[in-house]
Amino acid sequence: MKTELWTWTRVQFFRFWTALVVLGAYGYFWLNTPEYLTWWKRMVNTLIEKGCDTLSYPWGGRCHVRGFYLSIARDAHSPHL
């Protein structure tokens, strides 16, 4: 019981401090060097788009990057959906 509680506490502490670090870094870059955030978003979008381009038909044409989300469009004429 004690080991399970210790493991749970360690996992939650790790999640908490990593979330704080990410939010702190985001705030720092937003205030001081916002061009890094723009670069990061464009790089991630490019990686997602290239990954979608590698998918075969019909999935490759259905992947789109919208903001921070990857959406997969449903084709109304597809017999599989």
Which residues are 26's β-sheet partners?
none
- From the list 50, 26, 45, 51, the residue with the least C-alpha distance to 36 is 26
Higher pLDDT, 1 or 53: 53
CA distances from residue 33 to 2, 12, 39, 43, 49 in whole angstroms, order as listed: 45, 31, 11, 16, 26
pLDDT higher than threshold 60 for residue 66: yes
- Model pLDDT, residue 69: 58
pLDDT higher than threshold 60 for residue 52: yes
Write out pLDDT tens, residues 15-34: 999 999 999 999 999 999 99
Report if pTM > 0.85.
no
| Residue in the structure block whose two tokens are 């999935």 | 59
What percent of the chain clears pLDDT 70, i.e. is strictly above it? Answer: 72
On whether the CB atoms of residues 75 and 58 are closer than 8 A, the answer is yes
pLDDT higher than threshold 90 for residue 50: no
Q: Where are the domains of the chain?
A: 1-32, 34-81
